[in-house]
Amino acid sequence: MLILPKTIKIGSFVYKILFPCDNIEPEGMVGLHEYHSATIKLSKVDGSSTRTDQKIVQTLLHEILHGIDAIYCGTILEESTIGMLASAWFQILIDNDFKFDIDNIPKKVKVCGITYTVISPYTFTELGTTAGIDNPNATIRLSVGINGTKFCTEFVFVNLIGSIISAILSSYSIDMEDREGIGDTKVINTLANGLYQIFTESNLIEIIKKVRC
Ligand SMILES: [Zn+2]
């Protein structure tokens, strides 16, 4: 039996997760994010068929991404971008084992079937650059400090998550300049902050790993 948390914190909002919620309006929806009431509704059925646990958790991640977009980004992402990020992250969280421990930065990260090598610690020559992604060579470079000052764990992992978002966009052949909403590295960084919070403060990853096929 699928057990989901009753609440999840996104930014300062404590969202209620209503599951199973089988009368979501508008009719036909299997999930809904309501910013004004801080509620995520998830249906157990789709028409006359019962949804699999995997589908339900995928929808939960999708609605959480709407929450992150609303709270961290000011509701700027397109529905199709949320859909793409949700399905990509669902697989990424299954394929990788993130510890979010500064002493255990992963050496490899699998993103949409491509294994990226993570080079860290890396020293950038460009002033102010703390992370970089080279998609053709499937390489992510991460700095862990500057001029003898160590970066905090949060900063390093937000940079890693942001790099993974860039890798997702590349694998879907999305030109960031063209895609409304996500066409800005600041947006990627803000989204990464939201995802880092969810990954480290909720048991979402654990739930996803449990329902994987
Ligand atoms: Zn949606």
Confirm whether 22 is domain-assigned: yes
CA of 178 to the centre of ligand 1 (A): 20
pLDDT of residue 28: 85
Contact 168, 188 (CB under 8 A): no
pLDDT of residue 176: 59
Confirm whether 148 is domain-assigned: yes
Helices (H) and strands (E) in the chain, counts: 5, 12
Confirm whether 106 is domain-assigned: yes
pLDDT of residue 165: 95
pLDDT of residue 212: 84
Crossing angle, helix 153-171 and helix 79-95, to 10 degrees?
A: 110
β-strand pairing of 31-34 with 7-10: unpaired
pLDDT of residue 175: 65
Q: Considering its fold, how many domains does the chain have in total? A: 1
Q: How many CA atoms lie within 13 A of 165 on its CB side?
A: 28
Walking along the chain (213 residues) 10 residues at a time, the average pLDDT comes out as: 95 97 88 97 94 96 98 92 95 96 96 96 92 95 93 97 94 68 81 98 96 81
CA of 109 to the centre of ligand 1 (A): 26
Residues 18, 32: Cα–Cα separation, whole Å: 10
Residues 197, 68: Cα–Cα separation, whole Å: 10
CA of 120 to the centre of ligand 1 (A): 35
pLDDT of residue 6: 97
CA of 121 to the centre of ligand 1 (A): 37
CA of 45 to the centre of ligand 1 (A): 17
Confirm whether 178 is domain-assigned: yes
Q: Taking Cα atoms as reference points, which of 26, 77, 59, 22 lies closest to residue 204?
A: 59
Confirm whether 129 is domain-assigned: yes
Confirm whether 58 is domain-assigned: yes
CA of 65 to the centre of ligand 1 (A): 8
CA of 167 to the centre of ligand 1 (A): 21
CA of 33 to the centre of ligand 1 (A): 8
For residue 63, the enclosing domain spans 7-211
CA of 62 to the centre of ligand 1 (A): 6
CA of 204 to the centre of ligand 1 (A): 18
Confirm whether 1 is domain-assigned: no
CA of 104 to the centre of ligand 1 (A): 33
Residue linked to tokens 């991404």: 65
Confirm whether 2 is domain-assigned: no
> What's the pTM value of the predicted model, to 2 decimals?
0.94
CA of 30 to the centre of ligand 1 (A): 10
Q: Taking Cα atoms as reference points, which of 10, 3, 17 lies closest to residue 65?
A: 10
* Cβ-based neighbours of 134, under 8 Å, separated by 6 or more: 140, 141
Neighbouring-strand partners of residue 172: none
